[in-house]
Structure 1
Amino acid sequence: MVKHWGWSANTCAPWSVSWGSAAIPTLAETARATYPATSPKVPVILDLRAAEAYANNRSETDTRRALDNAFDRFSDNRPEHGDPDWSYWINEAQAHAQAGYCYVKLEDWARARDHLRTALRLQADEYTREGALRNALLATTYVQQEQPELDRAIALGDQAVQTLTGQVTSARCIKHVRNLVDTLRPYRRTPAVRRFCQDARDLITT
């Protein structure tokens, strides 16, 4: 049985697995070879999970290859028996979000930003929790780039805080808002940054 690896439609966090991250790419490659005629969604999920493991290991070349493979799979023909029920959550928005997360891990801010913006554009309205996560991560890319764009970062951060305060709760998403606040600390003398950090304080200290 192929495990459900990756980000689900109902959570911001990657599903935890019992294997170490170094073993996941090998497991993913083995599973792809074992199930060559399965739904293309299965290898997409496997490639995305492998990409995350490579990103955690700071292997940029392997991460990019796994992500390229995942996106190439979306054009593959669907099998006559359809996709597995458990793969319902994977779509291009989720794939772009995962790619953006991988590039954040690699500190490749430009690529991370491109994928996260695409994920936000493609996501359905009901994905408020994922939207909060993507906004927080996207905001971080604007702060971390060579020429920070603080106004854009704060606008995205405000959206994430508003969603997590009034609509949904997620410890994982709050963690990324906390990371955003930490990233903004060198700019705390800027009034807009100071205001955002104050607004986020109650959320990130709960």
Structure 2
Amino acid sequence: MAQLFSTLSYQLANNGNPADALLLARSAVKGVKEATPLVETLLLERVAWASAKAQDGESALRALDAVDDAYERRSPGIPESEWVYWLNRAEIDVMAGRVLIELREPGKAEPLLSGAVADYPEEHSREVALYLTWLAESYERAGALDAARQTLGRVREFASRMPSARTDDRVRHVEALV
């Protein structure tokens, strides 16, 4: 149930009412009796994202700290749910960078996004392209327009390998800023 609530929260944060998204994300965290470290990490990421979209910076930053704490508690001896197989440090840094961009902290977002993208496998073209759009936005919001344009060039290179409507939407969003 917590996974469903947090997924709905993510959708609402992106396409609906961020306040409702935040309520759902917090309910997902509170409602789960015993979460494994990675499950808790993901649920807390959704709280951070919904908080950022609702412009509740204090809650977003507290949630990001809790994300890091939960992630550090993972262990090979703790079996995780299959639906969190993809969650790793790079993915956490991407979300943290996205949250910081929403909170108008592009200078803090850039190193997280740069590091995550640098370590991401190139064969995951769709993800690399998508995450590079956030890096480009961090550059734009920091006033580094040349870096933003150069990064958009990299986005287009990766996006051409695996087209994605979501990436196309993000490219249009960032192009409008640059």
Report the alpha carbon displacement of residue 31 of structure 1 after superposing the two structures with TM. Answer: 3.4
Please state whether the residue corresponding to 2:2 is helix, strand or coil.
Answer: coil
Distance 1:46 1:31 in 2: 11
Q: Partner residue of 2:157?
A: 162
1:64-83 matches, cutoff 5 A: 64-78=61-75, 80=77, 82-83=79-80
Report the alpha carbon displacement of residue 157 of structure 1 after superposing the two structures with TM. Answer: 0.4
Distance 2:102 2:70 in 1: 23
- For the pair 1:171 / 2:168, whether they are aligned, the reply is no
Structure 2 gap ranges (5+)? none
Q: TM-score normalized by structure 2?
A: 0.85
Q: TM-score normalized by structure 1?
A: 0.74
1:61 is aligned, of 58, 62, 87, to 58
- For the pair 1:107 / 2:117, whether they are aligned, the reply is no
Distance 2:74 2:27 in 1: 24
Instruction: Judge which range, 75-84 or 90-99, deviates more.
Output: 75-84
Q: Partner residue of 1:188?
A: none
Distance 1:180 1:81 in 2: 40
Give me the identity figure in percent: 25
Structure richer in helix, relative to its length: 2
Aligned-pair RMSD on alpha carbons? 2.3
Q: Partner residue of 1:150?
A: 145
Distance 1:75 1:22 in 2: 24
1:140 is aligned, of 137, 153, 158, to 137
Structure 1 gap ranges (5+)? 7-13, 185-206
Change (3 A) 1:24 1:112: farther
Please state whether the residue corresponding to 1:23 is helix, strand or coil.
Answer: helix
Please state whether the residue corresponding to 1:103 is helix, strand or coil.
Answer: helix
Report the alpha carbon displacement of residue 53 of structure 1 after superposing the two structures with TM. Answer: 0.6
How many residue pairs are counted as aligned between the two chains? 171
Q: Partner residue of 1:97?
A: 94
Distance 2:75 2:175 in 1: 43
Report the alpha carbon displacement of residue 100 of structure 1 after superposing the two structures with TM. Answer: 1.1
Please state whether the residue corresponding to 1:78 is helix, strand or coil.
Answer: coil
Distance 2:111 2:96 in 1: 10
Distance 1:25 1:154 in 2: 34
Q: Partner residue of 1:40?
A: 37
Q: Partner residue of 1:30?
A: 30
Question: What CA deviation, in whole Å up to 9, does each residue of 1:65-118 have, x standing for no partner?
Answer: 101111122221437451111110111111111111111212211122122112
Distance 2:81 2:74 in 1: 14
2:22–2:47: 8 Å Cα contact kept in structure 1?
no
Distance 2:81 2:122 in 1: 24
